[in-house]
């Protein structure tokens, strides 16, 4: 009596049909791990870009806060106190945008450890004439004598002797502000 292969499998419970096995083969597992590794490597490659973007966004946000603070101070400053030409006194700020008063610092090392931003207000030697459009409040295209244009500059630097005049333009964020003369 000769048994067919199917009959051998049915008669012997130890022999199983490989096609009916619920497990994954080694080749399938290897391909799945390779695809997952490729995805993880791609995500890790994007991580430094995300960190740089977050840092740049935070610096931009704090720089804007500093510019708004200085602009507000200049709006309430009498014109006779804006008596410098070129870059004014340096102002120091922490990474959160809080001003560091130089006299509050006990040592230069303390200033250097907390310092993240340096700011200054640039007043041009020759006034940048502000000319309002014709027809607004009697202006006929002549220079406005009640407005003064200044440039507020902020640099991300821990150097308390930062030089705005010689700094690379990409290191400095600047914004123009119009200062109105309040009474006389």
- The predicted-structure confidence for 50-88, as pLDDT tens digits, reads as follows 999 999 999 999 999 999 999 999 988 887 888 888 899
Position 162 in a domain: yes
Position 12 in a domain: no
Position 1 in a domain: no
Domain that holds residue 46: 23-180
Query: How many independent structural domains does the chain possess?
Result: 1
Q: What integer pLDDT is reported at residue 36 of this predicted model? A: 96
Position 3 in a domain: no
Give the 3-state secondary structure of residue 74: helix
On the question of pLDDT at 103 being above 70, the answer is no
CA 114 to chain centre: 18
Closest CA to 167 of 66, 94, 90, 107: 90
Position 17 in a domain: no
Global confidence as pTM: 0.69
Position 29 in a domain: yes
**Predicted confidence band at 105 (pLDDT cuts at 50, 70, 90)?**
very low
């Amino acid at each position: 009596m000769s048994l067919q292969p199917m009959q051998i499998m049915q008669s012997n419970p130890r022999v199983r049909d490989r096609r009916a096995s619920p497990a994954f083969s080694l080749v399938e597992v290897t391909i799945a791990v390779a695809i997952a590794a490729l995805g993880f490597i791609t995500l890790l490659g994007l991580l430094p870009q995300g960190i740089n973007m977050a840092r740049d966004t935070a610096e931009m946000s704090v720089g804007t806060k500093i510019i708004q603070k200085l602009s507000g101070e200049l709006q309430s400053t009498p014109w006779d106190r804006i008596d410098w030409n070129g870059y004014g006194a340096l102002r120091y700020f922490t990474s959160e945008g809080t001003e560091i008063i130089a006299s509050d610092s006990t040592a230069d090392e303390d200033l250097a450890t907390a310092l993240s931003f340096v700011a200054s207000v640039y007043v041009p030697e020759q006034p940048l004439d502000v000319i309002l459009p014709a027809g607004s409040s009697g202006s006929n295209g002549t220079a406005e004598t009640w407005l003064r244009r200044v440039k507020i500059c902020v640099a991300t630097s821990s150097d308390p002797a930062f030089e705005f005049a010689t700094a690379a333009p990409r290191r400095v964020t600047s914004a123009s502000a119009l200062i109105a003369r309040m009474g006389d």
